[in-house]
Amino acid sequence: MEFIFICPKRNMTFESADFKVTENRGVISDSSGNKTLDAKVELNEPCPFCGEKHVYHASELPCPFEIPRSSSETEKGNQ
Ligand SMILES: [Zn+2]
């Protein structure tokens, strides 16, 4: 299963299925009630753009893991 990652240096996206999830603490809610998966996602292969092995927090990924979202709160900043 591939996920979409963003290279923070080049700001470009790529797909990879070669990653691992670490420090998985499950789904948490922040003070405003938004649910995020508290886990880190580490690439097993170097980034195709800059060659680094990036580590992401699960909430940073554009394709979230099994995170239930309420439809009314996902759109923000679009005016
Ligand atoms: Zn990169």
Which of 13, 56, 12, 15 shows the shortest CA–CA distance to 36? 56
Q: How sure is the predictor about 66, in pLDDT bands with cuts at 50, 70 and 90? A: low
CA of 35 to the centre of ligand 1 (A): 27
Q: What is the pLDDT of residue 28?
A: 87
CA of 37 to the centre of ligand 1 (A): 22
CA of 32 to the centre of ligand 1 (A): 31
Q: What is the pLDDT of residue 42?
A: 95
CA of 71 to the centre of ligand 1 (A): 31
Q: Which residues, including other chains, have CB under 8 Å from residue 65's CB and lie 6 or more apart?
A: 21, 37, 39, 58
d(CA 53, CA 70): 32
What is the value of pTM for the model shown? 0.67
